[in-house]
Structure 1
Amino acid sequence: MMDTLDRVVATVQANVPMERQIQGLHLYQKAKARLLGTSRPAPFAEEPIPPVDQVGLADIDMSNPFMFRQGQWMPYFARLRDEAPVHFQANSRFGPYWSVTRYDDILTVDKDHETFSAEPFIVIGTPPPGLEVEMFIAMDPPRHDQQRQAVQGVVAPKNLKEMEGLIRERVCDVLDNLPVDEPFNWVDRVSVELTARMLATLLDFPYEERRKLVYWSDLAAGSEEATGGTSDTDEIFRGVRDMARAFTDLWHAKAARTAAGEAPGFDLISMLQANESTKDLVKRPMEFLGNLTLLIVGGNDTTRNSMTGGVLALNQFPDEFAKLKANPSLIPGMVSEIIRWQTPLAYMRRVATKDTVLNGQFIRKGDKLVMWYASGNRDGRHFDRPDDFIIDRSNARSHLSFGFGLHRCMGNRLAELQLRILWEELLARFDDIEVVGEPEHVQSNFVKGYSSLPVKLTRKAAS
């Protein structure tokens, strides 16, 4: 019976347009909620987070999506690292979970995919019902290896070298059109715009519609169920439906051009079509959407929030900014320090596949663990003066932001390349990049990012 049902589902998925499937799932979930009620929790309400010394150790809940927005995350993580580095929270709104907060313990978990599985999700919660897409970052071998291999060539060293000129051209275009001596929002004018341009290039997506990629990425990474963000389920379903339509059309258009004799492109869609394990991905909607969502979220949040975090860090540590201006050759090392200091994605989740012990704590099979990269990157056991931003830090490249082991971020070198070029071109044009207001942080326990950063530029005097 189950085999028959599975075949029917597979046939429907392969033949019914993906956008119609998403629309059907949306209608089904709405009807189900009307008939049976919804178990969806009420939206998170922001309340002041008390000082950490006023909270019992057992009550500390780092899944609170306002920890980062209110700037309370550092003292809370510091206490956990010192007093309970593998800490159990039994009563979070995302279910019970362990917080892993020390650098060495995070490495232990991240490198052992056999004991600590990435399936079924990498976020602390669960996506809205009907949108439980599959992505290779939340798969274990062998499926993970097959699907990652299909696309990792796009960020191979040879291709990055060929992309460098295009990246620099687009960075220069954005910077040359910024206002000078008047405030503007750095996040929108620089960070979002540059990442949108890069995503459109990687996917061979219509360039004039590039901001859709950022919008879809924000929807995917921002649901209340998954990360505690601010979201509207109807809007998420509409966004996923539109994304499904756009990527399906792009997939079929590229396949038709290839069939007509056009040489395959060196973009992510073409690579998925050329690989044996993913050539029919368009017929597996949850994997198709999941992997494309992964690629746009990975290309959006990491680079975008590091672009903003670097500006903020240099303003908070003006002596380091002066050091950079005096010696621009420090830029490559500073890029790693930006990514460590910012930690644009705060964590990754794992599930224990068997009973085990981690730093003295007994972890049961099926327990959920959260590797808090944001905490490990501030662990004084590994980094000297960890809360300081030091552009020539000797071990900055050992940061955790890209993960370790088989799930290490595929696009890490591309992110570093974009940040390096941005800072080379910024220093060539401007004497100062002054933060002129408080940053606005996104509501999330996963994306450690910004929605706004007001800045003012001062152009270099003509030589």
Structure 2
Amino acid sequence: MTTTLFLQSEIQDPYSLYQKMLYQNPIYWDEENELWALYSYDGCVTILNSSVAYIPEINPDNEQGLNSSALQIALQLARLSNGIHHDIAREVAMFLFSNMNVMTTNKILKELLKKGENGPALDWVNSVCKQLPVVVVLKSFDFNDKDSLFITENIEQLTKIMIPNKTQEQIEFINRIAKKIYSLVEKQLINSGLGNSLVDILSKKHQIGAEKVMSLLVSNLIGLLIQSYDAGRGLLSNALLQILNKDLAHLELSNESDWIQRIVIETLRFDPPIHTTRRVAVEDIVLNKVVVKKGDKILLVLASANRDANQFLNPQVFDTNRNNNGSHLTFGIGGHECLAKHFSVRLATDVLQYLFEKHKSIALLDDKIEYESLSNARLPKNILISIE
């Protein structure tokens, strides 16, 4: 029986499975897991754009026992909400993005590389990728060093808030960390006065009080930190792997200033950090004569859609010059399109460009990459490199 759900740590090449399903069962009913799995570009686009395909609840009636701080975060994230709640949360998230201070990554990267030095080897994932995106966001909102350090050291535990099926140990960690991080973020937003202008706007538009607006601001800034830790880490990891697995002479010969950016964008299509997302049908949906019934769960295999030959020429080839690489679905589309997409691409581009400009030799020391035990994301555990 074909399985649609597996841990990325347990499969060497998920793309071979995606390719098989794309051509044999692009719309597949998984009887074992009781869900529809969509592997084609058109199928994923239809659902992503559908107004009757909702983000599923991950903790209905708080059956997981999250404390008040963790519950506020989970219930108010733009990426996990639907309808008018999503519209308001998205507006708050856009406000946060528009008020981020522009940060240069060079100094942060230089410090992290120095701290991560361990003889001839450096673990790119743990020394840089797990920290730099989060640090950049924190500095963009002027968090002090002490609070930044606490959040950076503990954000990994809080990311588990996004997992539908949590262990009791994970819930305990989330509850322990959520209260403290929520308090630190709230304190910084109050001290900065960032929410004052938004309170007036949303209060008039949606009849929302100041306390609710602040809660939305806190939750969605924490959401940005979570996203930076997971997806930001994955993009920095996967893009570097693509560069190191290619002929570096091309990098040396290239005088095009956007070369690294094209590598990053093609990585998002070819080897994205996020492979799947989920929806639930709130009304019947017809997909290529197949009826997805109201209440049915849907798994969108975005990493498969990104390699659909009906959308991308020679999709199994890593080609930075393909003219529609930016049409990948890694950031989603429609109402739930990731607001951090431009931030993520710019951050990864700046970091990798500085890395290769400042170091004459960068080599991969171990090409046997292990991945985290996640089903929706393909995140390397470690990438050992040498830098000169």
Aligned twin of 2:235:
306
Q: 1:414 to 1:386 in 2, by over 3 A?
A: same
Aligned twin of 1:449:
379
Q: How does 1:238-257 map to 2 (within 5 A)?
A: 238-252=173-187, 254-255=189-190, 257=191
Structure ID, larger Rg? 1
2:323 to 384, 388, 394: 394
* Letter of the 2:55 counterpart: A
* Letter of the 2:251 counterpart: L
| Residue 203 of structure 1: how far off its partner (Å) | 5.0
Q: Match of 1:142, SS? A: helix
Aligned twin of 1:130:
65
Q: 1:183 to 1:90 in 2, by over 3 A?
A: same
For these two proteins, the number of residue pairs brought into alignment is: 373
Q: Match of 2:360, SS? A: strand
1:117 to 51, 54, 63: 54
Contact 2:96 2:217 (8 Å CA) reproduced: no
| Residue 142 of structure 1: how far off its partner (Å) | 1.6
Within the alignment, does 1:279 sit opposite 2:221 as a pair? Answer: no
Aligned twin of 1:107:
45
Task: Provide Cα deviations, 1:235-266, integer angstroms capped at 9, x if missing partner.
Answer: 432333322233225424643x4xxxxx624x
Contact 1:244 1:289 (8 Å CA) reproduced: no
Contact 1:150 1:278 (8 Å CA) reproduced: no
| Residue 387 of structure 1: how far off its partner (Å) | 2.8
Q: Which runs of 5+ in 2 are unaligned?
A: none
1:71 to 8, 12, 18: 12
Q: How does 1:97-246 map to 2 (within 5 A)?
A: 97-112=35-50, 114-121=51-58, 129-131=64-66, 133-134=74-75, 135-156=77-98, 163-164=102-103, 166-175=104-113, 179=117, 182-210=120-148, 212-214=150-152, 216-222=154-160, 226=164, 232-246=167-181
| Residue 209 of structure 1: how far off its partner (Å) | 4.4
Aligned twin of 1:420:
349
Separation in 2, partners of 1:271, 1:207: 26
Within the alignment, does 1:384 sit opposite 2:384 as a pair? Answer: no
Contact 2:274 2:376 (8 Å CA) reproduced: yes
- Indicate the RMSD between aligned Cα atoms, in angstroms: 3.1
What is the TM-score normalised by the length of structure 1?
0.72
Contact 1:336 1:397 (8 Å CA) reproduced: yes
Contact 2:124 2:237 (8 Å CA) reproduced: yes
Contact 2:30 2:36 (8 Å CA) reproduced: yes
* Letter of the 1:210 counterpart: S
What is the TM-score normalised by the length of structure 2?
0.84
Separation in 1, partners of 2:370, 2:197: 37
Separation in 1, partners of 2:61, 2:13: 25
The percentage of counterpart residues that share the same residue type is 19
Aligned twin of 2:27:
86
Contact 2:199 2:213 (8 Å CA) reproduced: no
Aligned twin of 2:270:
341
Contact 1:333 1:393 (8 Å CA) reproduced: no
Contact 2:78 2:93 (8 Å CA) reproduced: no
Contact 2:93 2:217 (8 Å CA) reproduced: no
* Letter of the 2:102 counterpart: M
Separation in 2, partners of 1:212, 1:177: 17
